[in-house]
Amino acid sequence: MVRPGLLLYGYGEFATAMGLKPVMTMKTTISTIKIYQEGTAIGYGGTYITDKITRIGVVPYGYADGFLRAFSNKCSLYTKAGPAKLRGKICMDMCMIDITDMTEVDVGSEVEIFGNNNSIDEMAAIAGTIPYELTCAVSKRVPRIYIKDGVITEKELLLRG
């Protein structure tokens, strides 16, 4: 009997040695952008205070979608301009990233939660867990897009009535 587990996703300590590549990427887009003055508390409980005029991108991905609150103020999400630090506590339906110096990042810009540019292994270490927990935590409310050879083969939303 074989239990491939995380290897099915192309992750895990033996994946690279076996020539496996990650098959799951979590992406979303920036839904809105806010500009805050120095000294502004961001998010619930004000756990992050801006130290200058700050441009914040609101990302529609929160703990109800499977994004662990343990990441609050501790990791970055990847944009076309590079990593953008999470600011404030992760909310039920959203989180906030600092895009102050990323003028090319705008509403609708793609954000990688984890994937080729944002290591799920590093994120798991930050949360004190394993990558498999992060892949399994993605909730039913997150739409799935299946891609084969660069072509979308199926789109699915698991919320059915």
> What are the φ and ψ backbone dihedral angles of 132, each rounded to 5 degrees?
-60, -35
Please write the tens of the pLDDT for every residue from 148-161. 888 999 998 877 65
* 152 is a domain residue: no
CA angle 149, 150, 152 (to 5 degrees): 105
* 19 is a domain residue: no
Average model confidence (pLDDT) for the chain?
Answer: 92
* 117 is a domain residue: yes
Please write the tens of the pLDDT for every residue from 39-68. 999 999 999 999 999 999 999 999 999 999
Q: Distance (Å, rounded) from C-alpha 11 to C-alpha 120?
A: 8
pLDDT of residue 137: 93
* 112 is a domain residue: yes
pLDDT of residue 55: 98
**Per the structure, how many domains does the chain have?**
1
Domain that holds residue 72: 26-141
**Is the model's pLDDT at 112 over the cut of 90?**
yes
Read off the pLDDT of each residue in 75-80 and give the average, rounded to a whole number. 97
CATH code: domain of residue 68? 2.40.37.10
* 53 is a domain residue: yes
Q: Which of these, 45, 86, 54, 83, lies nearest to 67 by C-alpha position?
A: 86
**Is the model's pLDDT at 144 over the cut of 60?**
yes
* 131 is a domain residue: yes
* 16 is a domain residue: no
> What are the φ and ψ backbone dihedral angles of 125, each rounded to 5 degrees?
-60, -40
* 135 is a domain residue: yes
